């Protein structure tokens, strides 16, 4: 799994460095926290999960309008009924960002997409599956080399099978983040 993420990060870095840019690629670190809502889950009958939390950290490279990063994230959602297990997911993603500059504005909207692996855990067991994400957000540069952002993203996975039960889970996440150029 780590080799997959590292490979995707290296490919993304090569694409970033090959992209036409007036600036050299600069390294950065990013962290975010937020809420996670499971959009659909089907186990024989529809399960109902509480809104949970998500936390993520990433390192990446930024050049002009493009960013590429390696991210590790975790989210947990409790089940609304005591008979069903809680669901948590740890993701390992390679993400690509496209930033849009607005003239004379302190905000910078962006779109993002990523791919990688997820470990889905439901108390009774876990499964490693392929994962992907798409999202959009807006960044606000408050200080030199520091950006605050608000992001929405949808994370999807292939169907994990845990103890003979197949789950279908996708999550909607809204996060607040902080990015430091280093």
| DSSP symbol at 49 | B
Residues counted in the chain: 182
What pLDDT is attached to residue 23? 58
CA 9 – CA 179 distance, rounded (Å): 18
pLDDT band, very low/low/confident/very high, at 71 (cuts 50, 70, 90): very high
SS3 161: strand
Tell me, yes or no, if the pTM score tops 0.85: no
Q: Please, which residues have CB within 8 angstroms of residue 78's CB and are 6 or more apart in sequence? A: 49, 50, 52, 86
SS3 17: helix
pLDDT tens, position by position, 31-66:
999 999 987 554 434 567 889 999 999 999 999 899
CA 171 – CA 163 distance, rounded (Å): 22
Going along the chain from its start, the domains and CATH numbers come out as: 2-181 (2.40.160.20)
CA 142 – CA 158 distance, rounded (Å): 38
């Amino acid at each position: 799994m780590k080799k997959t993420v590292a490979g995707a990060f290296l490919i993304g870095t090569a694409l970033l460095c090959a992209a036409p840019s007036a600036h050299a690629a600069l390294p950065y670190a990013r962290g975010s926290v937020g809420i996670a809502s499971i959009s659909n889950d089907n186990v024989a009958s529809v399960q109902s999960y509480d809104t949970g939390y998500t936390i993520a950290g990433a390192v990446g490279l930024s050049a002009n309008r493009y960013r590429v990063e390696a991210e590790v994230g975790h989210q947990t959602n409790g089940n609304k009924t005591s008979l069903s297990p809680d669901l948590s997911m740890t993701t390992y993603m390679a993400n690509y960002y496209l930033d849009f500059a607005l003239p004379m504005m302190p905000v910078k909207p962006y779109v993002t997409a990523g791919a990688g692996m997820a470990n889905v855990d439901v108390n009774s067991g876990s499964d490693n599956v392929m994962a992907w994400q798409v999202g959009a957000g807006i960044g606000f540069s408050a200080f030199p080399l520091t950006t605050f952002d608000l992001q929405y993203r949808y994370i999807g996975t292939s169907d994990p099978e845990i103890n003979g039960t197949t789950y279908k889970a996708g999550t909607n996440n809204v996060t607040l983040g902080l990015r430091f150029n280093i």
